[in-house]
Each structure stands twice: as structure tokens, then as C-alpha cells.
Structure 1
């Protein structure tokens, strides 16, 4: 025993030195300087005329066995999807402007994945392609190479997962572009506050649902549904890939004709408040109730020609900030860890489709953040989970207080201001009108 103690005493200085060196190394500013520059306009397409549209739905084929994404470890592995997961695409054209939209039943999308989709369909001569995730927390993972993403939600990176998403999205876009036909645009909104609640401080969600229908001579070609609430209704340990309520809702609507794209609104702090049933029955019942809300919308037809515009802007992001995520003594190490996985720039887009003015951001803006973006741009709705994933976007006052969803925001308190600056550039270029 004495010999062991003597050995420990002799090793103690070495142990302390090693720990100190490791701490100093981890605390070194490995982030370096982060570029600060004004937002720049990447591109713009606009046109006006009779509206044409095509839509398609293509199965996603996860590379089974596949990790079920959505939560930290331990994560189950799935050998099948039940119900199946899909990629849905819509191509719209007015005048010379042609734009593609893709909704993937995944938890998120990444910039490399989106870039590959755009490259794969470059020959379609689309003026722009917007890619969204439904934010389903029970679909397959493996498509995000960033270390933080692999640890926190998507699981071990696999190129086969990326290939599955890119292949389905590009196939859906090709089929949609190949089925263009004359359509009319109808749109409307409905509210059901009882369907949602705020899981944290900040502005509560209102349960707003926006419905846009592109109707052809034989019936609906496509339907876009915008609603904000986390798709976390499926149990965490269910060993199946599952599209949660967005996928079930789309399937219900498609039974009436056309293809239904579900798009997440600004709902970083919004959760589903529906209590009827348990497990998969509860998910199905909520999808049915939400479909009923869609039916309550009385969409108004947009007469005459339609203006279509899409503008994309890029902004430099603030330095990652782990001060709300880790203990104070490990702040510097936490910053370095985030820097290794954090994007330096972000893409914000403004899409005008007739009276609809839609702003897209690459993360999860809270209800309050969405209101700020709408006020600064005139957007009718703010859509999240587009083009990349930056984490949560909270209003600066709550970030300073470490309130709301700030504990999940990877970047500093100026994140919303940076995104809003880019949003203004995109919105002005797309021709958004501001309310009086």
C-alpha cells in the first residue's frame, strides 16, 4: 500500500502538468478571426405571367440498417421505415422564371447535401432550388459530417445516407419539371392555438397554418402547407424510420389528389399540444386533426398573372459562442469545439409567389425571431430548416438572459441581426412589399 501511495505521489506532478497542458491546449483560441462583412446578393430570378407547375413524390431509400436520428445517444438502429419516408418536389414557373422546391422527410439538411442536389439538376435550368427538411426527429441520420451534429442528433456520418437524400430529391425535381402544366394559385390561412404550446420562454406560437394550392384542370397539382411545431411525437426508442406527423399529414392530403409539401415555419420553441391517443395512434390522430384544420382554410384564388421571384443572399455569421452551453471554466474549449463544426456563412432566401412572401433561414428560428424577421422584411411567413442547419435562432434579449431557446443557440447574440440583414437584402431584391 505504501508503495502504491509513493507511486501516486511521484506521478502527481506529471498528472497535474498533463491536465494543465491539455486544458491550456483546449483553451487556446483555435477559432481564429471570423470574417465580418455585409450581406451580399448571390442571385435573383423573377418573372410574371400565367402560372405553370409540376410536382412529384419519390421514396427515400435509407441505407438500412440506418441510425434513427433526432436525439443524443443512445440511438436505435432501424431496419425498415414504417410508414415510408419521401422526398417531395414542386417546380413553379411564371414568365421566364422557374423555381424548384424540395421537402425532405429528414431532421435537417446540410449545405453540402443541398449543393449536391443543385448540381445534380443543373441541366433543368431552374433559376433556383430551395431544399427544406420537415424536421422529423425519427427519420434516418448519417448525412451530416460535422462532429457536433453527429454527437447531438444525426449519428455517424455515412456517404450512403447523403446519396439517398440527393438521389431522391433530384429525381423528384426532374419528375416535377417534366410534368409542368397550367395552374391557378389559391391560398389562405387558419389558426388553431390549441394544437401547439411554447416549450420555453418567449413569444408563444399561435397555431397558424398557411395553405397554398396549385390547381390544374384535373384537380390539385400540389399543395404547400406551412405549420410550426416540432415533429417529436414518435417515441425516441422506436426502431423504425418514421416521418412523424408531417409525413402522415402529406399522405392524408395526397389521397385527395396532388402532392403535398410540408414546410416548417418559425417554431423553434413550438411543440405539439395534442393529447389524444398514445404512440403511433397519437401521431396519426394529430395528422388527421391537422388535415381537418387544412380543410377549414378557405383558399382564395389569385386572379390574372402571377409574379414569381426568388432572391438568395449570403451573410457572414458571428463567432460560435458556447457560454450558454458549457460551464464557465470550459467556455474556451467549448468555443473551439463548436468552431470545428460551425458554418462561417449562411444563405437566406426570399421567395415571392403571387401574394405569398416567404423568407427562408437555415436553422430553427423561434416564434419571436420569426416575428423580428417578418417585421424587417415584410415576409408573410418565415420558413426554417432550409439550405443548411445552424441550430436555434433566438431574439438577442433572451440570449443575453440565457432564456428561451438560447441554451440551444450555437452562435453569439448577434446571430438574428446577421440573418435579418441578409433577409432584408433578399427581400428587397425579390420585391417584397412592406405593410403600411
Structure 2
């Protein structure tokens, strides 16, 4: 039997090491869509429960994963619709680990019935939410569990309902904007620059009360214990609910460049610590000084598409299994990715379909003149690290699915999106 086993193992190794990836065509970024307007701003917002098809796997980590039969606290989809001179775009935030191309496409398909010209779809990056919505093999193995069509449909239905309700509540608003530094809330991950610690706050204020509040921050929502048998929105969901109970309007937390929640800053143990951090960040958000920006604004949402570099598993697996690792990544990687630009008044944002590091975000800001960078938007390609750190195998490059040219490719698309959207420096 030994020669047979040896032959079988050798054949499997040879088969796995064959170049199944082939060549990946590289081309210049292309423009997918653009919405541009200027004038008086109207806005509507809504919050809708995201009802998973229980029982569901709890996403966020490699196996073994817990299975959940309920949510505690509930998951939500939150939407803000912006209208200027008849042009309408939506921004929807989902309490998920990440959003995929298929989730984004389904949400946009359903949103057409609300009269929206385009939609930006983002995730809070909660590492304790439901899984089962990503059909890609690597995602199923390391993060989201077995794909289920009903999980995907539940997510898209909640997002669509939130967008419809937000559209129905459109009203005249003024824009207010402010930011502060909260470095004590986050710490740097492996290598690279220190975490940003910037907390930015945007308020859309109606005649009687705020319609919506958008908070921009960057700290991994990994505070919920891994084997908890409930799906959970982590601190972003708790933070949003706290702010909403205080009269802020519908509150979204949008993730920026990568950082981790500072354990030293939060109080208590286990779930107490999650709630304590949410309360502290909610208090800090309420104290951010705001500057009025009026009601006449520029609004732009520009979407671009860029070809991806060939996947590269050299930093992820032992050298003897490099080819097999490349093949596995190739079978689970999209050949194109979306990079977007959003302008709302003085705010100019570039979005990345993954997790940009502080260094990667700084490079995108330098190239585009953006006010900031949002991650976890309109798809997921994994970590995005600065090329110098990828070549040195430092920082988050040990988790990046592509080689050093990834940021260059995404940056070219970001430049096209920013210039089309009318970014000013």
C-alpha cells in the first residue's frame, strides 16, 4: 500500500501545483457610472432589522465556528438617501463582516425600484454577524461558512427596505461636519504607521431634528467572544443604537483605515467590555464640535472598475505549497474590483473594497486629494497594504491575497473616480 499512497500523494501535489490560474489580463480602470449635482440638499434615513434565516453560522473567523439561533442585540441595515436637484443616491450600511460583489449587485438591483440612480454599499466589519452569504470557496473556508442563498436574500431584502423607507422620508436638510482625534481608542496592528484615531462626524439636520448622523472611524469590531452562540453587531451596532436613542437620527458607523480597539481603554470583561467601548465612543461622538456647511452642496457618486493583479499566496503558505495556494486564491478571487468616490459638500471620500491599512490610506489620499478613505465598500478583496511593506513581508501583507501591485491598481482607479467626481485639493 505504501507505493500506492506515495503515488496518490505525489499525483495530488502535482495536480495542485499545476498553474490553474493562467494569465490575468491587466487593463486601465474604466468608468462604470457617475451621478453629479449641485444645489439644495435633501436627505432621508431609515433603520431596518436584518433577519437572518436561523440557524446560521457566526461569521468572522476560521473553524470551528459557533451556530446561532438568535441575535443579541439585533442586526440592522441602515440607509441614507441623498438628493440634490432631483439626483438621488443611497448609502447603505450593513452589520456584516464584509459585503461581496453579489450582495452589492443584489442591493442595487432592488434599489432601482426606489428611484435611486446609484447606491454605495458598506459593511460595519462586525466579526460576530451572520455568515453564509459569500459563495467564494476561500471565504467559506476561513470566514463566512457554507454559502446559503437565503442568507444573501435576507441581507439584500433588509438593505432594500431601508433604502425604500429612507427615500420615502426625504426632507430638506443642512450639513454639519466636524472631527476630533481619539488615539486612545485604537492601537496599531502589525507594522506600518500608527493607527489614525480620527473620529469624523457628519450630521444631516432637518428643520426639527437630525435626520441622520454618519460617523467615520477605524477599529476592528472583534470584541465579541468567538464562540458566542448569538449573532451580534459588536460595538458598531451598540454605538449606533445609543446615538439614535439620544436623538441623533439614524446613525451609521463607517470603517476607515485598519486599527484595533484599544483593550486598555475599555472597561469590564467579555460582553461588558463591548458595551463600555460603545458607550465611550458614543459619548466622544456627541462631543465632536460641528461646523455648519449650509444646505447648498455638491453631490457626486462615481464608480469605477479596475482589473486585479494575479493572486499571490507567497506570504500566506509554505513555499512548497505556493502554487497550490495561488490556485486556491485564483478560484476564489474576482478578476475585477470596484473603487468609488463620494463627494458631499466639503467631504471627499474614496472607497476601497477591502481593508486598507493606514499606510495604504495615506497613499490614496496623497494621490487623490481625498478627505479620507472608507473600507469594506462594494466588494471584498481582503487587506490592502503599502507596496513597500508587502515586499518586506511586514504589516498586513501576511494577510493580503495579492502581490505588491494591488495598491497601485486600486490607486489608479481611485484617481479616475476622484477626478471624475471633481475632487479639489
| TM value normalised by structure 1 | 0.95
CA distance in 1, matches of 2:261, 2:305: 30
Q: Is the 8 A contact 1:230 1:272 kept in 2?
A: no
Q: Is the 8 A contact 1:185 1:214 kept in 2?
A: yes
Q: Per-residue displacement from partner, 1:33-74 (whole Å, max 9, x unpaired)?
A: 101100011111110111000000000001111111110011
Q: 1:5 maps to what in 2?
A: none
Matched, 1:77 2:67: yes
Q: 1:395 maps to what in 2?
A: 386
Q: Per-residue displacement from partner, 1:201-251 (whole Å, max 9, x unpaired)?
A: 101113111100000011000000110000000101111111110000000
Matched, 1:226 2:202: no
Q: What SS does the corresponding residue of 1:176 show, helix, strand or coil?
A: helix
Q: 1:95 maps to what in 2?
A: 85
**1:121, CA displacement in angstroms?**
1.5
- Map residues 226-245 of structure 1 onto 2, 5 A cutoff: 226-245=216-235
Gaps of 5+ in 1: 1-10
1:304/1:68 CA distance change after superposition, 3 Å:
closer
Q: 2:49 maps to what in 1?
A: 59
Q: What SS does the corresponding residue of 1:186 show, helix, strand or coil?
A: strand
Q: 4+ residue stretches of structure 1 with deviation over 6 A?
A: none
Q: 1:6 maps to what in 2?
A: none
- Map residues 111-260 of structure 1 onto 2, 5 A cutoff: 111-257=101-247, 258-260=249-251
Q: 2:34 maps to what in 1?
A: 44
CA distance in 1, matches of 2:206, 2:17: 60
**1:18, CA displacement in angstroms?**
2.2
Q: What SS does the corresponding residue of 1:375 show, helix, strand or coil?
A: helix
Matched, 1:20 2:10: yes
CA distance in 1, matches of 2:47, 2:324: 44
Q: What SS does the corresponding residue of 1:405 show, helix, strand or coil?
A: helix
Q: What SS does the corresponding residue of 1:322 show, helix, strand or coil?
A: coil
CA distance in 2, matches of 1:368, 1:272: 19
Matched, 1:328 2:319: yes
Q: Per-residue displacement from partner, 1:301-356 (whole Å, max 9, x unpaired)?
A: 11351110111110000000000000001100000000000010000000000000
CA distance in 2, matches of 1:301, 1:141: 40
Q: 1:417 maps to what in 2?
A: 408
C-alpha RMSD over aligned residues: 1.0
Q: What SS does the corresponding residue of 1:390 show, helix, strand or coil?
A: coil
CA distance in 1, matches of 2:6, 2:170: 69
Q: What SS does the corresponding residue of 1:50 show, helix, strand or coil?
A: strand
CA distance in 1, matches of 2:89, 2:166: 11
CA distance in 1, matches of 2:119, 2:25: 27
Q: 1:287 maps to what in 2?
A: 278
CA distance in 1, matches of 2:150, 2:356: 29
| TM value normalised by structure 2 | 0.98
Q: Is the 8 A contact 1:80 1:240 kept in 2?
A: yes
**1:140, CA displacement in angstroms?**
0.7
Q: 1:406 maps to what in 2?
A: 397
CA distance in 2, matches of 1:433, 1:343: 32
Q: What SS does the corresponding residue of 1:223 show, helix, strand or coil?
A: strand
Q: 1:318 maps to what in 2?
A: 309
Which structure would you say has the larger Rg?
A: 1
Q: Per-residue displacement from partner, 1:185-211 (whole Å, max 9, x unpaired)?
A: 001001110110012110111311110
**1:359, CA displacement in angstroms?**
0.8
**1:16, CA displacement in angstroms?**
2.6
Gaps of 5+ in 2: none
Q: Among 110, 120, 123, which residue is 2:100 paired with?
A: 110
Q: What SS does the corresponding residue of 1:121 show, helix, strand or coil?
A: helix
Q: Among 317, 338, 361, which residue is 1:370 paired with?
A: 361
Q: 1:3 maps to what in 2?
A: none
Q: Number of residue pairs matched?
A: 423
**1:276, CA displacement in angstroms?**
1.3
CA distance in 1, matches of 2:268, 2:261: 17
